[in-house]
Amino acid sequence: MYIIAGLGNPTREYDKTRHNVGFEAIDVLADKLGIRVTDKKHKAVYGLGMAGYQKVILSKPQTYMNLSGESIRSMADFYKVEPENIIIICDDINLTEGQLRIRKKGSAGGHNGLKNIIQHLGTQEFPRIRVGVGEKPKEMDLADYVLGRFPKEQEMIMADAYQAAADAAVMMVEDGADQAMNYFNRKK
C-alpha cells in the first residue's frame, strides 16, 4: 500500500496558491484514478483506491503546511505504511514553474512541510515529487510569494505540471521511483 500526499493549506483562501500545488496534483491524480478524496480522518481529507495493482491512499493533510507531519504520521501508523511507500508532492521555489524533481529521499531543503514530516516520521527516507513554482523575487517576502497565486500566463504551465506530477506518482507506484526519476527529472 502507498500513501500519496499532496501538501497545501486548507480553506478557500489558499486555493490555487503556489503552496497548494500538492493539493492540485492530488485532485488531478484522483480524477485520473477515479478515487473520491472525501473521507475525513487522520487530520486529512483522503480517499482509497488502486493505481495499477497497488492499493493507494490519496491524501490532502488539513493541518496547514507546517504541521503536515502530524497527518502523515497518523495515516502511516493506522495503515501500517512504511516511509519508503509514502510519496509527498509539494512546491519548490528552487525549480522553474512547472519543472518536476523526484527524489527517493533527502533533506527538507528549507521546506517547512517536509521538515515537519521528517520530524514526525523520524527519517528523510521517503520519496517526494517537488513541483517548481519559480524563484521568489528578491524584494518579496517568502510567505507572501508562496501564498500568492500564479499569474494568468503561468496557469497552463502549472496545469501541465499537475498532470505530470500525477503521472509521476503513478509511475512511482507501478514501476518504482528510479524509473520515474529517469523519465521526469530529465524533462525541462
As a whole number of angstroms, the distance between CA 2 and CA 81 comes to 7
The residues annotated as belonging to the active site are 19
In 3-state terms, what secondary structure has residue 89?
strand
- Strand runs (DSSP E) across the chain, as ranges? 2-6, 39-41, 44-51, 54-61, 86-92, 100-103, 128-132
Q: Is 66 annotated as a binding residue?
A: yes
Cα dihedral angle (40, 143, 69, 154), rounded to 10 degrees?
70
Residue 180: which residues within 8 A CB-CB, separation 6 or more?
102, 168, 171, 172
Select from 75, 63, 82, 76 the least CA-distant residue to 23. 63
Q: Is 112 annotated as a binding residue?
A: yes
As a whole number of angstroms, the distance between CA 42 and CA 96 comes to 33
- Tell me if 113 sits within 8 A of 84, measured CB to CB: no
Q: Is 79 annotated as a binding residue?
A: no
Q: Is 94 annotated as a binding residue?
A: no
For the annotated binding site, the residues are: 14, 64, 66, 112
For the annotated binding site for tRNA, the residues are: 14, 64, 66, 112
